Amino acid sequence: MAKEFDVVVIGGGPGGYVAAIRAAQLGLKTACIDEWKNEKGDPAPGGTCTNVGCIPSKALLQSSEHYDHAGHAFAEHGIDVKGLSLNLGQMLARKDSVVKQNNDGILYLFKKNKVSFFHGRGSFVKAESSGYTIQVKGAAEETISGKHVIVATGSNPRALPGAPFDEKLVLSNTGALAIGAVPKKLGVIGAGVIGLEMGSVWRRLGAEVTVLEALPAFLGAVDEQIAKEAAKLFAKQGLGVHLGVKIGAIVVGKKEVTVDYTDDKGAAQKAVFDKLIVSIGRVPNTTGLNAEGVGLKLDERGCIAVDGDCKTNLPNVWAVGDVVRGPMLAHKAEEEGVAVAERIVGQHGHVNFNTIPWVIYTSPEIAWVGKTEQQLKADGVAYKAGTFPFLANGRARALGDTSGMVKFLADAKTDEILGVHIVGPMASELIAEAVVAMEFRASSEDIARICHAHPSLSEATKEAALAVDKRSLNF
């Protein structure tokens, strides 16, 4: 007899595990199935985000930034470091232990909230009037059933045609987080979020990094003024970004990878790398789900087709996170997971796609929420802009990190904040104030009139809001 649940969640990444916890909090008998295992074969819930995404990348970004500061920034503070050396093994081991703490934390949360965890691959068997039968294939085989099913099976890295990932020389994000010795020459294809974050890590640790990007504009989704400022700062750091290239043949040798490409002037180029990271986007993952077996519809891009409420074409089957449309972000997946659990019990779960923040964890960080200036122009919206440089912020000077700026975009008539864009220190934290403000439909004057602690980086946010009305106090 199959174990019966109110809700079965397939996938234990940020979308799935959070959906399972919220469903259990709401009194639903909940199961979560996840197949990820660590090198010992033990369950490692948390998905891409915890195992080979957000968490390990931020661990390495932090460690490599400490190393970079010890080598280049400490002297200015009067701290002389002699005999600085890199213990890459320890750095990678620390990253692994941070991942493990997060895996264990999720298992603990499942226990605390009485979510039944199944380790293995979940696939649809059949639909019945009472719900769905799901097979779990792990160390053992089991069959369970759910009145509702939430699919949260995530995404996989996109490979370049002709250059499959071997994780030795041609690396996806998985290999890029586990290079055992700093490569002399590191190639990166794709100047997107992963390319810039992982390129930054290995550059700081000593690699000569060349990033090859197909598009002619740098970070096209980012506000142009902010992207230009970031490009300048990255170039100064020595991150070699080549835009408008066309990748040709990729030949994988014994110890190196040769990439033929055409540059933005149409000239043929050849580059030889010790390692090549391919970060050209991700594809939704429905492998092994048997979606076709129960008639679960996919869209033309291979995502599970859902409406605005994450409902699929099948009754009581929902899908959230990277496997559905929308930005591939952990916090977007979590918000959708919570909203679906609440909809199942008849509440009005809601995700505001206009206020989902983006962060790129380079140094300086880039963060934004809402519309860019180029989007407002294209939409014909009349707006006012205000910027404030960190160079004029006392806390940034004290920190020794004065690069970048905060930029506000507000409606010309109503002053409602339409977008906030930051490149600079701790942009990832500063953006939260802008998200709250936009969620409450604040005006730039609201932020300008709120008392911000001194000295703090957040004063740059207040000053940028003041700048919308051309009344900055410190610039």
Residues in touch with ligand FAD (CB under 6 A): 10-16, 33-36, 47-49, 53-54, 57, 121-123, 152-155, 173, 194, 285, 288-289, 321-323, 328-331, 333, 361
Compare residues 103 and 279 and give the one whose CB is closer to ligand NAI: 279
Specify the residue, 247 or 291, whose C-beta has the smaller distance to ligand NAI: 247
Nearest to ligand FAD of 148, 395 (CB atom): 148
The region that residue 474 occupies, defined by phi over 0 for left and psi between -120 and 50 for alpha, beta otherwise, is alpha
Look-up of token digits 């980012």: 222
55 binds ligand NAI (CB under 6 A): no
If the CB atoms of residues 288 and 400 are measured against ligand FAD, the closer one turns out to be: 288
Active site residues: 454
- Strand 155-157 versus strand 282-284 pairing type: antiparallel
Determine if 336 is a binding residue for ligand NAI (CB under 6 A).
Answer: no
Interface size with ligand NAI, residues (CB under 6 A): 24
CB neighbours of 71 closer than 8 A, spacing ≥ 6? 81, 84
Interacting partner of 222 out of ligand NAI, ligand FAD, none (Cβ under 5 to 8 A depending on kind)? none
d(CA 337, CA 18): 6
The continuous run of DSSP H or E covering 94 comes out as helix 88-112
Question: What does 48 bind: ligand NAI, ligand FAD, none (CB cut-off 5 to 8 Å by kind)?
Answer: ligand FAD
Residue with smallest beta-carbon separation from ligand NAI = 192
Smallest distance, Å, CB 383 to ligand NAI?
A: 26
Q: Which is nearer to ligand NAI, 214 or 399 (CB)?
A: 214
The minimum distance between CB 191 and ligand NAI, in angstroms, equals: 5
Q: Which residue lies nearer to ligand NAI by CB, 151 or 211?
A: 211
Contact 444, 465 (CB under 8 A): yes
The CA distance from 326 to 314, in Å, is: 20
φ, ψ of residue 411 to 5 degrees: the values are -60, 135
- Give CA–CA dist 426/169, Å, rounded: 33
Closest distance of CB 12 from ligand NAI, Å:
18
Between the alpha carbon of residue 58 and those of residues 92, 196, 244, 327, 446, the distances in Å are 12, 13, 28, 19, 33
**342 belongs to the binding site for ligand NAI (CB under 6 A):** no
Contacts of 384 (CB under 8 A, 6+ apart): 409, 410, 411, 412, 415, 444, 468, 469
Instruction: By CB under 6 A, tell whether 213 contacts ligand NAI.
Output: yes
Q: At its nearest, how many Å lie between ligand NAI and the CB of residue 212?
A: 6
CB 296 within 8 A of CB 313: yes
Cβ pair 4, 21 in contact under 8 A: no
Nearest alpha carbon to residue 273 among 336, 198, 207, 318: 207
Which option in ligand NAI, ligand FAD, none does residue 280 bind, with CB closer than 5 to 8 A by kind?
Answer: ligand NAI
- Asked if 332 touches ligand NAI (CB under 6 A), the answer is no
Cβ-based nearer residue to ligand FAD, 121 or 384: 121
432-437: long-range contacts at Cβ-Cβ below 8 A with a sequence spacing of 24 or more? 432/357, 433/458, 433/461, 434/357, 434/369, 434/370, 434/461, 435/355, 435/357, 435/369
**Per-residue mark of binding to ligand NAI, 180-199 (x: CB under 6 A):** ---------xxxxxxx-x--
Among 279, 286, 444, 458, binds ligand NAI (CB under 6 A): 279
The CA distances from residue 418 to 150, 153, 228, 297, 404, in Å, are: 33, 33, 20, 35, 20
Q: Which does 215 bind (CB under 5 to 8 A by kind): ligand NAI, ligand FAD, none?
A: ligand NAI
How far, in Å, CA of 18 to CA of 164, rounded?
Answer: 32
Kindly identify the residues of this chain, within the stretch 160-179, that bind ligand NAI according to CB under 6 A: 160
Estimate to the nearest angstrom the gap between the alpha carbon of 43 and the chain centroid: 23
205 binds ligand NAI (CB under 6 A): no
Region from 70-78, 278-286, 419-427, 444-452 binding ligand NAI, contact rule CB under 6 A: 278-286
Instruction: Tell me which residues touch ligand NAI (CB under 6 A).
Output: 160, 189-195, 197, 212-215, 247, 279-282, 327-329, 359-361
